[in-house]
Amino acid sequence: MRRSSSTGRSAVPEQLGFPGMPQRLFVCTPSKLGTYTDCPRRYRYAYVDRPTPPKGPPWAHNSLGASVHTALKNWFDLPADRRRPGVLPTLLKATWVREGYRDVEQERAAWRAALAWLDGYLAGLDPAFEPVGVERVVAARTAVLALSGRADRIDARVGPDGRRELVIVDYKTGRGGADPDDARGSQALALYAFAAEKVFHAPCHRVELHHLPTGVVAAHEHTDESLARQVRRAEETAADIMAAEAAVTEGADPDTAFPTTPGRLCSWCDFRAICPAGSSAEPKPPWSAVESTLRPDPSSRPTPAPD
Ligand code: SF4
Q: Tell whether the model's pLDDT for residue 203 goes beyond 80.
A: yes
User: Which distant-in-sequence residues (6+ apart) come within 8 Å of 78 by Cβ?
Assistant: 87
Largest CA distance in the chain: 64
Of the listed ranges 66-80, 167-181, 199-213, the one predicted with least confidence:
167-181
Q: Which residue has the higher pLDDT, 208 or 179?
A: 208
CB atoms within 10 A of CB 167: 21
**Least confident piece of the model among 38-52, 120-134, 167-181:** 167-181
Does the CB atom of residue 92 touch ligand 1 within 6 A? no
- Ligand 1 close to Cβ of residue 42 (< 6 A): yes
Q: Is the pLDDT of residue 296 over 70?
A: no
Ligand 1 atom with least separation from CA of 265 = 7
Contact partners, residue 165, CB within 8 Å, separation at least 6: 156, 157, 158, 159, 202, 203, 204, 205, 206
d(CA 69, CA 217): 16
Supply the pLDDT for residue 160. 77
Percentage, residues of the chain above pLDDT 90: 84
Cross-strand partners of 244: none
Task: Quote the CA–CA distance of 43 and 200 in Å, as a whole number.
Answer: 31
Q: Are 260 and 275 in contact (CB under 8 A)?
A: yes
Mean pLDDT, residues 20-44 taken together: 92
Distance between CA atoms of 35 and 43, rounded to whole angstroms? 5
- Is ligand 1 within 6 A of the CB of residue 268? no
Q: Higher pLDDT residue, 7 or 68?
A: 68
> pLDDT tens for residues 53-105?
999 999 999 999 999 999 999 999 999 999 999 999 999 999 999 999 999 99
Tell me the chain's radius of gyration from C-alpha atoms: 21
The amino acid sitting at 203 is: P
Evaluate if residue 258 carries a pLDDT over 70.
yes
DSSP state of 45: I
How close are the terminal C-alpha atoms of the chain, in Å? 29
Q: Check if the beta carbon of residue 304 is closer than 8 Å to that of residue 176.
A: yes
Range with the lowest mean pLDDT among 21-25, 169-173, 294-298? Answer: 294-298
Mutation to probe ligand 1, out of 43, 49, 261 (largest number of atoms < 8 A from CB): 261
Whose CA is closest to 46, among 61, 31, 57? 31
Q: What's the mean pLDDT in 196-216? A: 96
Which atom number of ligand 1 is nearest to the Cα of residue 275? 4
Residue 295: what pLDDT?
85
Q: Does the pLDDT at position 302 exceed 50?
A: no
Residue ranges of domains in the chain = 60-123, 133-229
Task: Please give the model's pTM, rounded to 2 decimal places.
Answer: 0.89
